[in-house]
Amino acid sequence: MAESIRVENVTKNFTLRYHRTFKQMTVAMAKGQDVSDRFTAVDDVSFSVEQGESIGLMGLNGSGKSTLLKMINGVMRPDKGSVLTRGRIAGLIATGAGFHPQLTGRENIYLNAAVMGLTQRETDRIFDDIVEFADIGRFLDTPVNTYSSGMNSRLGFSVAVHIDSDIFLADEVLAVGDKPFKRKCLARMEEIRKSGRTIFYVSHAAASVKRMCDRVLVLEQGKLAFDGDVDAGIKYLKYGDDSDDPDQLDSLENDDAELGADI
């Protein structure tokens, strides 16, 4: 089977600046204080994903999950190593990502679809399905800067799941929104999984990872600490006592836990 994603010795660093203005930096330097520091968000990570695999990416906030996902998506480049992907990538890596705040929901649907490589004619064919799934009613023709975070999530996820892609990335897609919409999203992601597409799914919710994924990667302070079986990965991470209880893992109530990470 062909590889869908290959990550080789990938490292990504960020600069943390302690002062905002030139004057503050000058005073700090005169006093011998540090004005910046280097932070390694992803540290020498390597793995490969076969076409059709569903991968759960887990870890505590700040472990590097979203940074890794952004490098796979191509919106960031690694400082060291390489990230190779095969085929079109779609998905939602942040609530409302890619939306222009002053454009309407309707206009942003076409804008996002164009960014993902669709022509206007192709977008026209799936437009009604996107609108029906998002279910934002009369707000479709109002600027998205008037939307709630839940409405942003609805529209962004709806565009992403209706794009024909080879790789589907999901991060923080259910961090906001009501319970029926979250279940609706999970059901749609199961359809994507069964279609044979590769899924890379960032989540804090053990139950939804167990339900959606064939394999788990765990990041700890930017390093790949675990790569293997889903149950073993969840137990490795030890998300509280309930995570080790099979009844809790199978409970749909846990599917409503927030997804995503800070970095």
In a domain, 222, yes or no: yes
Is the distance from CB of 193 to CB of 209 less than 8 angstroms? no
In a domain, 45, yes or no: yes
Burial of residue 109 (CB within 10 Å: 0-12, 13-18, 19+) is: buried
pLDDT > 50? residue 108? yes
pLDDT > 70? residue 259? no
In a domain, 187, yes or no: yes
Q: In sequence order, what are the beta bridge partners of 45?
A: 10
Give residue-wise pLDDT tens across range 154-183.
888 888 889 888 999 988 665 556 778 888
Residue 203 phi, psi dihedral angles, 5° rounding: -155, 150
**C-alpha–C-alpha distance, residues 61 and 52, integer Å:** 27
In a domain, 262, yes or no: no
Q: What percent of the chain has pLDDT over 90?
A: 42
Structural domain range at position 175? 3-29+37-256
Residue 179 is part of a domain; what is its CATH number?
3.40.50.300
In a domain, 263, yes or no: no
In a domain, 261, yes or no: no
Mean pLDDT value across the chain: 82
**C-alpha–C-alpha distance, residues 82 and 69, integer Å:** 13
* Residue range 79-97: mean pLDDT, rounded: 83
State if pTM tops 0.85.
no
Alpha carbon separation from 249 to 60, 71, 78 (Å, rounded): 18, 30, 35
Tokens of 79: 């400082």
Give residue-wise pLDDT tens across range 193-222.
888 899 999 988 888 888 889 999 999 999
Cβ neighbours of residue 29 under 8 Å, at least 6 residues apart?
35
Tokens of 173: 């897609």
More confident site: 137 or 244: 137
Give residue-wise pLDDT tens across range 126-151.
999 999 998 888 999 999 999 887 88
Q: How many domains does the chain have?
A: 1
pLDDT > 90? residue 110? yes
* Residue range 246-259: mean pLDDT, rounded: 43
In a domain, 251, yes or no: yes
pLDDT of residue 120: 93
More confident site: 9 or 252: 9
In a domain, 11, yes or no: yes
